[in-house]
Each structure stands twice: as structure tokens, then as C-alpha cells.
Amino acid sequence: MATPPPMGPPGNPMFEGGGPPPPPQPPGTDMTGICFRDQLWLNTYPLDRNLVFDYFAMSPFYDWTCNNEQLRVRSVHPLDISNLTKMTGIEYILSEVLEPHLFVIRKQKRDSPEKVTPMLAYYILDGSIYQAPQLCNVFAARIGRTLHHIQKAFTIAASKLEKIGYVDAENESEVLESKVSKETIDLKEVKRIDMILASLQRKVS
């Protein structure tokens, strides 16, 4: 097994968008807009369930006051659940694993061996670490997109109805003109027939 890297901040990480790493953020800060990746670490150590937490601890998402860090200082594996359940406070657990591509780490607050309150989730996808958006933010974004599409649909429907109304008005005008023309033709025909009948009447009489 490869020896885990020394504890402490990363040496040469890369962040989405380039530039220097962002300053440390207070716990609970929304950091969904950044991505952490340390290619040098990934080229040196395997990304598996044994070392993934050491990799995660190098990122700005890591809270150095967590219980996992206390276990690391004592040379205990930071994800040892038998030790974490004996402590209270902030902790991280590995909730989903699909080696070596996907790891999901959940941050939670432990009040007792049985009582924990989930706080945030992070996922490591092919070596890149992201903070997962909170459920309320996902719902808000999807509702916003839905309302946008509904409003757009109503706008399109309203414009179609206005166009149909305009075409109907034009058609009605054409129908009226056609009726008038038809009536004009019929009157001429009636006069012509009257003239023929009058001529015949004069001849007969």
C-alpha cells in the first residue's frame, strides 16, 4: 500500500478557472462554484477508499476542526466509524464509493452515537472534487427554469392567438367582399332576365 502524503495544505493544486487557490472559507460556505484537483498527488498515489480522505483533506472544502482530523493526529484512520461514533462535533463519512472514479463524502454534525445531522455533501469524480449543491438550491433552480419555460410558452401562445385573430379579421373582410361581389353579379343577372322577359312579352302581345 502506498504511504499517504504528509498532512497539510496541498503543494500544487489546480482550481477551476485557473489562478491561485481561493482563501480558506468558513464552515458552511457555499463553494459549489469551485473545483479542486491536484494532478501531482493523483500521479503519485492511488485514489481508493484508503487514501481518498487524505486527498480530500488537501482541498479547501476540508474543515480542519473536524473529528476526523483528531483521528489523523492520533494515527487512526480518519474514517474509522467505531472511533467517530464515540465523539461529538463535525465529522466526514464516506457514503458512496465506486472505485476509482466516484467517491461521495458527507459532512455531518454528530450529537450522539445514534444522532447525526447531515450538513453538506462532496463528490470526487475522476480526481476532481466538487461541493454538491444543497437540495433546496436544486429545487429553486429547477422551479426557476420551469417558470421561465412556462412564461415563454404563454408568450408564444399569446403571439399565435394575436396572429390568428389578425388573419381571421382579414378573412372576414375577404368574405364580405366576396359576398358583395356575388350579390352584384346576381343583380345584373336578374336585370338581364327581366329584359329578356320584357322583350318576349312585347313580341307576344
> Does 5 fall in a domain?
no
pTM, two decimals, is 0.58
> Does 35 fall in a domain?
yes
DSSP 114-176: S-EEEEEEEEEETTEEEEPPPHHHHHHHHHHHHHHHHHHHHHHHHHHHHHHHHHHHHHHHHHH
> Does 1 fall in a domain?
no
| Same domain flag for 55 and 114 | yes
pLDDT digits (tens, 9 = 90+) for 79-115: 999 999 999 999 999 999 999 999 999 999 999 999 9
> Does 36 fall in a domain?
yes
Tell which residue, 98, 25, 11, 102, has the closest CA to residue 58: 11
Q: Which domain holds residue 201?
A: 134-205
> Does 4 fall in a domain?
no
| Same domain flag for 120 and 75 | yes
> Does 23 fall in a domain?
yes
**Could you give the number of structural domains in the chain?**
2
pLDDT digits (tens, 9 = 90+) for 63-88: 999 999 999 999 999 999 999 999 99
> Does 102 fall in a domain?
yes
Least confident of 49-63, 76-90, 149-163, 187-201: 149-163
| Same domain flag for 30 and 59 | yes
| Same domain flag for 148 and 166 | yes
Cell of 14: 489546480
